[in-house]
Amino acid sequence: MTETGRPDAPNLADAAAHIRSAYVHIPFCARWCPYCDFAVVEGRDDSTDRYVRAVVSEIESEPAWGELGAIFFGGGTPSRLAPPLLGSIVEAVAERFGVADTAEVTLEANPEDWTEDLASGLVAQGFTRVSFGAQSFDPVVLTALGRAHTPDHIVRAVEAARSAGFSSVSLDLIYGTPGESMDSWARTVEKALGLEPDHLSAYALTVEPATPLGMQVRRGGAAPDPDLQADMWERAVAAAESACLVRYEVSNFAKPAHACLYNLGVWAQGEYLGFGLGAHGFRDGVRRRNVKRLDTYVERIESGLGAVQGTEVIGGWAAEIERLMLGLRRAAGVTSGAGGEALMASDSGKRLVDAGVVGLSGDRLVVTRPLLTDEVVRAVLALGEYP
């Protein structure tokens, strides 16, 4: 499927429900960033070949499905693996399910790993999109975040990706790191936009409990200031829009035809398969998650056991809550449906409308103050099951 319109168009948002996609988790990292609570391993690069074989084997044992429209390699740091290794996974997916000619094949990459050779190697293996973990253009902030790259690495990485032929380049930024000022953030946004990315993700630094950052904050260390983060978000939105990047989700901006299909699919409750340790999949109304430890994952796959640690059937009210929880994050909003209608008929819904947080646009419920999206979802949840 090809995307043509504005990234925030309702028809694009809704049609994404039909994209079949796959997520592949690559857990290897040179070092663990202090804010990250994903499934990652440090210093285990000796296991990459074995891990990739396990992932391929997991893909081969998945029941047949239709052709995929998007594949997303997340991490961890997918760019730590050599292109042929990543390519073998792409190939396994293609063989098992088929991959559309127009499919979006994304990998996350660290700017310091990126070289022209790597870039062209990845293009040759079928990758079309790269998302760089740029985080900031302020060396002080990069150090605070425990990142190994410099602003120069980001600049060179973007250039190399362009010249290798990646059709979509995205930058991830993090705002609200303790010590980061509004000025520093404004310069980061400006420099990022100066590289003319096709896509930008700007995330508020979130303190996850099971991370070194979480520990620091619990011990009284500096925590992000939500008010400053709100100011920073507003600044990013304004700057992105003047650079023709349309905000299509709380934290995501894209030029026309560059919204991330894989994520659009997730937000539209589309189906996806998850491969690799800690990966989640959602197929036939069942969400499943894989084991999170590297050795457990590999051993279970090798001994012919599945890697699934748990499954959850998403139906009824839970499905309706997720439809709203995910859909309301999008600028396009979501069809009102049972939950939305109940909300708008409730006192709490009316208060949210009065406060300008949510509104109806035709039959769609749209969050008009995106930074308060969770308040809207909680209000729906508080209505209770099947209002």
Q: Which of 259, 257, 262, 249 is nearest to 20 (CA)?
A: 262
- Binding residue for other proteins, selected from 44, 156, 187, 287, defined by CB under 8 A: 287
Q: Which two tokens stand for residue 343?
A: 């909300």
Does residue 204 interact with other proteins by CB under 8 A? yes
Q: How far is the CB of 79 from other proteins (least distance, A)?
A: 19
Strands (E), the chain: 21-26, 28-29, 41-42, 68-75, 99-109, 129-135, 168-175, 199-204, 246-249, 252-254, 272-275, 280-283, 286-290, 308-313, 334-335, 358-361, 364-367
Looking at the Cβ atoms of 122 and 325, the one nearer to other proteins is 325
- Binding residue for other proteins, selected from 47, 115, 203, 308, defined by CB under 8 A: 203
- Binding residue for other proteins, selected from 19, 134, 266, 334, defined by CB under 8 A: 266
Does residue 274 interact with other proteins by CB under 8 A? yes
The H-or-E segment that residue 121 falls in is helix 116-124
Instruction: Concatenate the DSSP letters of all residues of 17-38 into one string.
Output: GG--EEEEEE-EESS--TT--S
49-78 mask for other proteins (x: CB under 8 A)? -------------------------x----
Looking at the Cβ atoms of 123 and 376, the one nearer to other proteins is 376
Looking at the Cβ atoms of 145 and 204, the one nearer to other proteins is 204
Bridge partner list, 24: 73, 275
For residue 81, what are the CA distances in angstroms to 21, 74, 119, 223?
A: 21, 12, 12, 34
Q: How far is the CB of 174 from other proteins (least distance, A)?
A: 9
Q: Which two tokens stand for residue 92?
A: 């396994």
- Binding residue for other proteins, selected from 171, 279, 332, 342, defined by CB under 8 A: 279
User: What residue ranges bind other proteins (CB under 8 A)?
Assistant: 23, 38, 74, 203-206, 226-227, 229-230, 233, 250-251, 263, 266-267, 272, 274, 278-282, 287, 289, 312, 314, 318, 321-322, 325-326, 329, 347, 351-352, 354-355, 357, 370-375, 377-379, 381-382
